[in-house]
Homo-oligomer: A and B are copies of this chain.
Amino acid sequence: MTLTQTDLTGRSILAGESVAGTGATVHGADPATGEALEPGYTLIDEDQLAAATAAAEEAFASFSRLDPTAHADFLERIADNIEAVGEELVARAMAETGLSEARLTGERGRTTGQLRLFARVVRQGDHRGVRIDPALPERTPAPRTDIRQRKIPLGPVAVFGASNFPLAFSTAGGDTAAALAAGCPVVFKAHNAHPGTSEIVGRALADAVAEAGLHPGVFSLVYGQGSRIGQALAADPVIQAVGFTGSRGAGLALVATAAARPVPIPVYAEMSSINPVFLFDGALQGDVDALATAFVGSVTGSSGQLCTAPGLVFVPAGPAGDAFTASVERALATTAGQTMLTAAIADSWVAGVDTLAAQEGVYLVGRGREGDTENAPAPAVLGTDVATFLDNEVLHEEIFGAASLLIRYSSPEELVHAAGQLEGQLTATLHLSEDDHATVETLLPVLERTAGRILAGGWPTGVEVGHAMVHGGPFPATSDGRTTSVGTLAIERFLRPVAYQDLPDDLLPEPLRRANPWHLNRRLDGRLELAGEQA
């Protein structure tokens, strides 16, 4: 195993081969100091990219047919290899992102945990979606032939690393894990803000491919210019789907490229969400300071650079809401800015807050203090009322970082109306007591059409990786609200159904054979039949 080496190469991994790019060199940088980090990473060109995608296409035939045990073992091996790197991984990620050791240690656990969760999914096999309508030779007026359905992987998938999750939404992150679990080779484009972290994980993954004896085209890690190589990747005829987490502009550019292909492909872009929170009067009858502190923690954690950070809070007018607002101001005053991911992201956050604060009818609720490092601006909470909010599109825009906007509302009707004007969101959060149920019942249908996940009593940051999670939502939260990027349902975004009619048993794929050699649950004439029930 070579993966624990700290001598980073600055090279892409094209189907198992370490390859220097022909283009410019980029460096990661420590955002806390501005210092450039070695080594430099050479960016690849289109021909080098084509080698990676061609290898992915070559790998598809065998990888898509892997038996469940070998397939699951491979996913677990990736997780093992990532853990085997040890603390060097977290250390490099800290240097490249400014995120804390605790956060990155947790994120590493989440990354390996979701690989192992997908391994269990692959072993269990329900994602293969087996449906069998047996022949009915005696049926009148016409007999029915035998029809069997399963889901197959779409083909090679392009995954783009996210700046804000250098592990869990990057090289071996959620989309990569879901695509590999589906049976799709992955060409991963690293985010240039954490190239070393990407290389460490990419080598762990490529080593797992080699150790498992798989075709090396199952995984490539490329460094390239986003507007050139990223677009070329989405346009490559081999690629059958795209997974992306990032800005609305970059996400929409990928959507446009994918739609303009001779054969269009799906793009799963998670883009933009302000994650509204609805505070009801009843929730403010308890410990308001605890609520305000938890809110400020959710806004400022990871310097606010979380897709689900609560950027909007509806607070009732009146004394209970006033008390909450005052408590937020106090909690914020003791909060220091934390290093943001890059200087550009910090600059963009400052500009966004300045713009928001300058809008008519928007006032400052409170600010923290600046952090001691570079790129650690002071967290900010601003305030306004519903009418101002509804009147001004600027107030609906995401400000990526530790900022939030409190919106004072004067009646349940006004609240429900305002909720109906929101764009698509990843999450919507309720703080309520039993007295508020009547209003919440009116609000819930609105929120279901707006968001992918609805919470009561907590905060939207901290996305559980499980079977029931939805991390997705209507546009522009994502480009495709029919799916999720976190949780086991994510595997379905990389699958499509195929029906087999009257094929001889030995020509059928294993999941569909009469003897059910993979012991799968199956839908027989519409009725679910669990594998354990079978003779």
Contacts and interface: CB of A to CB of B under 8 A. Distances in A.
**Residue among A120, A475, A488, A504 facing the most chain B CB atoms (10 A cut-off):** A504
B456 A503 contact: yes
A424 B466 contact: no
B449 A145 contact: no
A523 interface: yes
Contacts of A126: 523, 528
A467 interface: yes
A248 interface: no
A147 B466 contact: yes
A488 B497 CA distance: 12
A469 B147 contact: yes
A470 interface: yes
A484 B502 contact: no
Contacts of A507: 437, 440-441, 444, 456
Given A133-B468, A503-B454, A507-B437, A266 B145 contact: no
B470 A149 contact: yes
A142 B454 CA distance: 20
Nearest to A266: B482
A526 interface: yes
Interface string A138-150: 0000101101110
A454 B526 contact: no
Given A263-B424, A264-B479, A456-B507, A469 B502 contact: no
B475 A496 contact: no
Contacts of A528: 126, 521, 528, 530
A525 B467 contact: yes
* Size bracket, chain A contacts: 35 or more
Q: How many copies does the complex hold?
A: 2
Given A501-B458, A506-B437, A489 B526 contact: no
Interface of A is mostly: mixed
B131 A468 contact: yes
Contact of A495 (B482, B497, B498): B482
A64 B521 CA distance: 29
Contacts of A255: 259, 264
B452 A497 contact: yes
A454 B500 contact: yes
Contacts of A154: 482
A120 to B, nearest CB: 7
Interface string A402-445: 00000000000000000000001000001000100100110011
A344 interface: no
A497 B470 contact: yes
A155 interface: yes
A464 B469 CA distance: 35
A457 interface: yes
B496 A482 contact: yes
10 contacts: A124-B527, A255-B259, A437-B507, A453-B499, A455-B502, A467-B523, A470-B498, A474-B496, A482-B496, A482-B497
Given A264-B479, A444-B507, A452-B497, 8 more contacts: A126-B528, A131-B489, A148-B468, A149-B469, A263-B476, A266-B482, A455-B502, A482-B497
